[in-house]
Structure 1
Amino acid sequence: MNGLTNFLEKYFVPVAAKIGSQKHLVALRDAFISTMPITMAGSIAVLLNAFFRDFPTSWGWTGFVEAMQPLIGVNGYVWAATLAIVSLVFSVSLGYNLSKVYEVDRLAGALVSLAAFVMNLSQTVAVDPIKNAILAANPKADVSMIQPVWGFLDLNQVNGTGLFTAMLFGFISTIIYAKLMRANITIKMPDSVPPAVSKAFAAIIPALVALYICAIIDWSFVKITGLDVITWISKTIQEPLLALSQGYGAVLLVTFLVQLLWFFGIHGPNVLAPVLESLWGTAQLNNINEAAKGVAGSDLPYQWVRGSFDAYVWMGGSGGTLVLIIALLMFSKRADSRTVAKLSLGPGIFNINEPIMFGLPIVLNSIYLIPFIIAPMVMVTIAYFATTLGLVAPVKIAVVWVMPPLLNSFLATGGDWMAPVISLINMVIAFLIWVPFVITANKVGVPEEEMKA
């Protein structure tokens, strides 16, 4: 065991540490985190409409649904201004955070990233949905004269579908802008000019160059492929990657890597946030948007999303450490371990596991390496197949990560009572995996003062 630990510590940890501190990945991670107020507001709106509209409709409570129409409408407005345009929001956040790591004007960088993304939107609105809506209202209506109209915002491109494009052009445009700013290829204003004006003029040339380069890429791409960039990326890159993320192997692998990184004291979800958010996070946004339209259960596009890990696997934090805390309080005979467990219980209930990770510690503790890795992999296996086999509804609501276990999964699935049952089963199984190692730890490395006592 020590040999394996030493090998990983020598060859794996340095690489993981470099990845975790790479400034572009840090900016990408922070960009996703910064959108949380928006995504959370939209998710709450979808959750409320599940209880005001979706469930009552399935129960036949038409009168209740009719009475709730004002609230349903308000929630619709919130969703339309948040999750329905999440790619626009993310493009601003990415430009801001990239400018932050390059130490240039953040607001200008955010606007450059936004403009570069908007360039990729389809220049005309699709007419088929409009024709279909008109014909549904009046089957005899003449729709032959309806033509594509330039300049409309296609909501199907600014929701989760556009995230990959927002990432790509956010990086291209903001990095070009930042490099030119740092190279002082700017318009210099006299010292007498107010700083706000001087700063705005300084950004003109870098922003102009960045946006024209993006525009040339967009124009060339459409001429060569006949498709706008968002549509092409969605069909040839994003959809295959999202499909790959739904495989059991991909889910199991990322769970293993998160645990392995944490064992060496590296925050696994943070290091892998670019992967977790760009794949499973995008899948979650798509589920939320479909749920907002009334789609439920197995009809949702994705079975396993970002919130699935929090709902069923990382209860108390990565490793299911809330279960470890319970096992320590019940079976540990070590005063130091029990003290740490008592202090960690409160934070653990709200999925904050740093006290137990570094206080016990679990980090670089070979006794706990096996259960720390194995327990989450077993839990993710149970939850994955329970979801894909239809025993529990897929996650379709973004729940704040500090939401306590059981309640988390219930809310995340829009009120599926089987979700907390699966979570509880996972906790029991994880508990059985942790207990033998807690008992073993009673006999290993006991502090000298306890041995004398």
Structure 2
Amino acid sequence: MNKIIKWMETHFIPVAAKIGNQRHLVAIRDSFIAIMPITMVGSVAVLLNVFFRDLPTAAKWTGFVENMHWLININGIVWWASFAIISLAFIVSFGYHLAKDYDVNPIAGALVALSSYIVFIPQTASFEAEINGVKELVSNWGLINVDYTGSAALFTALIVGFISTMIYIKLMQAKVTIKLPDSVPPAVSKAFAAIIPSVVAIYASSVVAYLLDTYAQMPLNDIIAKYIQVPLMGLSQGVFSVILLSFLVQLFWFFGIHGHNVLAPIMDGIYLPATTANAEHYLKYGAEGIKDLPYIWTRGSFDAFGQMGGSGITIGLIIAIFIFSKREDSKAVAKLAAPMGMFNINEPITFGLPIVLNPVYAIPWLIVPPISVAIAYILTTLGVIRPVIAAVPWVLPPGLYAFLATGGDWIALVVSLALVALSVVLYTPFVILANNMEDKEI
């Protein structure tokens, strides 16, 4: 084990550290984090409709649902201001963080990214309308379809945002700007400096949009969705992908590297759109939509069934230590870590026991979450538990997180707690092993 750890420290850690600090990946990660308020408010609308529309409807409390119709309608408006425009929120955030990382005007970077993306949205829409009692196909200009601003367009927003903002950044760095006298106020000077790079970036996007509209006769988002996003999302829904990502998070953490941060571009870039797509589908179709949600596994699924108590499901380790440990040092750390572990904060146990680079706990640390997510994945595909449909605060206690994230599924709550119990069983042999090493460092 020591030889393996030494080899990993020499060859694996430097590469992992570079990935974790890569400026473009960091910008993607920070951009997703920044739009969490939008994601959360949309999820609140989903959860409120669960408790004020769907569960009462299932219980045949029709009078209650009718009285709450005003709140249900408000939740629909909240959806319009959150999930319906989440791609626009992301691209503003992405342009800002990317430009800020390169130390150029971040506000201009955000606006360039947004404007460059808008040019790729179709300007006309066709729909069926009833005119003088006759249904006709009507085409109108100046309409923006939410299919191009919601979660389905996140991947396109990422690509367009990156390319357009980088054009702006490189021109700014090359000083292809309008230089004003020093006597001009800084705000005015910054705005003028960004004019030429912004014009070039937006015109470049507009030319590409024109060529696609003229020759491909298909919007960029549709092209990317058909040939890139759909295949990637399909791969992400396989059990192998789910298990592998769960394992890699643990592997990075074992060496003291924040696994979620390193893998955020993948986990957030692919699985977060799946969460919002499920939420949008549920808000649109209600309880009936549960039967045919677009995605089985989403970003919140990892937290609901593979991160209870924090990475490694360490709440199970804490319980095992309380029951089976004879080491006073381990018990002391567990007592300090337990209150925070209930809210998925596990740094005290991860670095206090420690688990990082600890050969005794390496095996359960690496295998407990993958086993748990594999079980939850199978139960989800079999229809035993609902897929996750809402992003909820990550600090919610085990069980409660799964219950709310799945829209009030009691079976999901039971499964989440059962997986915590399983983690206790899997950690126990290694806690006992640590007892036998009482006079040694573990």
In the alignment, the residues of structure 1 paired with residue 133 and residue 435 of structure 2 have an alpha-carbon distance, to the nearest angstrom, of: 79
Identity of aligned residues (%): 53
Calculate the aligned-residue CA RMSD, in Å.
1.5
Alignment map for 1:348-363 (pairs within 5 Å): 348-363=341-356
In the alignment, the residues of structure 2 paired with residue 120 and residue 332 of structure 1 have an alpha-carbon distance, to the nearest angstrom, of: 60
Q: Which moved more, 1:436-445 or 1:301-310?
A: 436-445
Query: What letter matches 1:376 in structure 2?
Result: P
Displacement of 1:444: 2.1
State yes or no: 1:422 paired with 2:391. no
Contact preservation (8 Å) 1:334, 1:446: no
Q: Which of 134, 159, 165 is matched with 1:142 structurally?
A: 134
Q: Which of 148, 155, 158 is matched with 1:157 structurally?
A: 148
Query: What letter matches 2:316 in structure 1?
Result: V
Residue of structure 1 in register with 2:195 after alignment: 204
- Secondary structure at the residue paired with 2:138? coil
In the alignment, the residues of structure 2 paired with residue 157 and residue 310 of structure 1 have an alpha-carbon distance, to the nearest angstrom, of: 28
Q: Which of 259, 264, 270 is matched with 1:279 structurally?
A: 270
Contact preservation (8 Å) 2:156, 2:224: yes
After superposition, the C-alpha distances for 1:269-317 in whole angstroms (9 at most, x for unaligned) are 1100000011111111100111111153231111111100111110111
In the alignment, the residues of structure 2 paired with residue 225 and residue 7 of structure 1 have an alpha-carbon distance, to the nearest angstrom, of: 51
In the alignment, the residues of structure 2 paired with residue 233 and residue 55 of structure 1 have an alpha-carbon distance, to the nearest angstrom, of: 38
In the alignment, the residues of structure 1 paired with residue 213 and residue 314 of structure 2 have an alpha-carbon distance, to the nearest angstrom, of: 50
In the alignment, the residues of structure 2 paired with residue 446 and residue 63 of structure 1 have an alpha-carbon distance, to the nearest angstrom, of: 67
- The unaligned stretches of length 5 or more in structure 1 are 449-453
Contact preservation (8 Å) 1:29, 1:270: yes
Displacement of 1:164: 0.7
In the alignment, the residues of structure 2 paired with residue 210 and residue 17 of structure 1 have an alpha-carbon distance, to the nearest angstrom, of: 32
Residue of structure 2 in register with 1:34 after alignment: 34
Q: Which moved more, 1:50-59 or 1:299-308?
A: 50-59
Query: What letter matches 2:320 in structure 1?
Result: A
In the alignment, the residues of structure 2 paired with residue 370 and residue 424 of structure 1 have an alpha-carbon distance, to the nearest angstrom, of: 22
In the alignment, the residues of structure 1 paired with residue 321 and residue 216 of structure 2 have an alpha-carbon distance, to the nearest angstrom, of: 60
Query: What letter matches 1:398 in structure 2?
Result: A
Query: What letter matches 2:402 in structure 1?
Result: S
State yes or no: 1:319 paired with 2:316. no
State yes or no: 1:435 paired with 2:428. yes
- Secondary structure at the residue paired with 1:147? strand
Residue of structure 2 in register with 1:114 after alignment: 114
Q: Which moved more, 1:21-30 or 1:193-202?
A: 193-202
Runs of 4+ aligned residues of structure 1 deviating over 4 Å after TM superposition are none
- Secondary structure at the residue paired with 1:366? coil
Contact preservation (8 Å) 2:327, 2:438: no
Contact preservation (8 Å) 1:262, 1:268: yes
In the alignment, the residues of structure 2 paired with residue 18 and residue 176 of structure 1 have an alpha-carbon distance, to the nearest angstrom, of: 24
Displacement of 1:264: 0.6
Residue of structure 1 in register with 2:185 after alignment: 194
Residue of structure 1 in register with 2:45 after alignment: 45
Residue of structure 2 in register with 1:451 after alignment: none
Q: Which of 215, 219, 230 is matched with 2:206 structurally?
A: 215
After superposition, the C-alpha distances for 1:426-451 in whole angstroms (9 at most, x for unaligned) are 11111100000011011226369xxx
Contact preservation (8 Å) 1:32, 1:277: yes
In the alignment, the residues of structure 1 paired with residue 153 and residue 243 of structure 2 have an alpha-carbon distance, to the nearest angstrom, of: 27
Displacement of 1:236: 1.7
Count residues with an aligned counterpart.
Answer: 439
Residue of structure 2 in register with 1:92 after alignment: 92
In the alignment, the residues of structure 1 paired with residue 396 and residue 278 of structure 2 have an alpha-carbon distance, to the nearest angstrom, of: 20
After superposition, the C-alpha distances for 1:152-210 in whole angstroms (9 at most, x for unaligned) are 01011111111011000100111111111122211111112111111111110111111
Contact preservation (8 Å) 1:311, 1:405: yes
Residue of structure 2 in register with 1:259 after alignment: 250
In the alignment, the residues of structure 2 paired with residue 249 and residue 446 of structure 1 have an alpha-carbon distance, to the nearest angstrom, of: 40
Q: Which moved more, 1:289-298 or 1:195-204?
A: 289-298
- TM-score normalised per structure 1: 0.94
Displacement of 1:342: 1.0
Residue of structure 2 in register with 1:23 after alignment: 23
After superposition, the C-alpha distances for 1:107-160 in whole angstroms (9 at most, x for unaligned) are 111111111111111121131xx44xx5xxx9x93122x422112010111111
Displacement of 1:340: 1.1
Contact preservation (8 Å) 1:298, 1:394: no
Residue of structure 1 in register with 2:103 after alignment: 103
- Secondary structure at the residue paired with 1:100? helix
- The unaligned stretches of length 5 or more in structure 2 are none
In the alignment, the residues of structure 2 paired with residue 181 and residue 342 of structure 1 have an alpha-carbon distance, to the nearest angstrom, of: 54
Displacement of 1:344: 0.9
Query: What letter matches 1:217 in structure 2?
Result: V
In the alignment, the residues of structure 1 paired with residue 438 and residue 124 of structure 2 have an alpha-carbon distance, to the nearest angstrom, of: 69
In the alignment, the residues of structure 2 paired with residue 440 and residue 328 of structure 1 have an alpha-carbon distance, to the nearest angstrom, of: 11
Residue of structure 1 in register with 2:399 after alignment: 406
Displacement of 1:61: 2.0
After superposition, the C-alpha distances for 1:308-338 in whole angstroms (9 at most, x for unaligned) are 0111110111110111111112211112111
Displacement of 1:370: 0.3
After superposition, the C-alpha distances for 1:70-127 in whole angstroms (9 at most, x for unaligned) are 1111111111101111001001010111011111111111111111111111121131
Q: Which of 300, 303, 306 is matched with 2:293 structurally?
A: 300
- Secondary structure at the residue paired with 2:134? coil
Contact preservation (8 Å) 2:112, 2:165: yes
State yes or no: 1:234 paired with 2:225. yes
Residue of structure 1 in register with 2:337 after alignment: 344
Query: What letter matches 1:151 in structure 2?
Result: G
Displacement of 1:58: 2.8
Displacement of 1:55: 2.0
In the alignment, the residues of structure 2 paired with residue 439 and residue 425 of structure 1 have an alpha-carbon distance, to the nearest angstrom, of: 22
Contact preservation (8 Å) 2:282, 2:290: no
Contact preservation (8 Å) 1:40, 1:399: yes
In the alignment, the residues of structure 2 paired with residue 142 and residue 184 of structure 1 have an alpha-carbon distance, to the nearest angstrom, of: 59
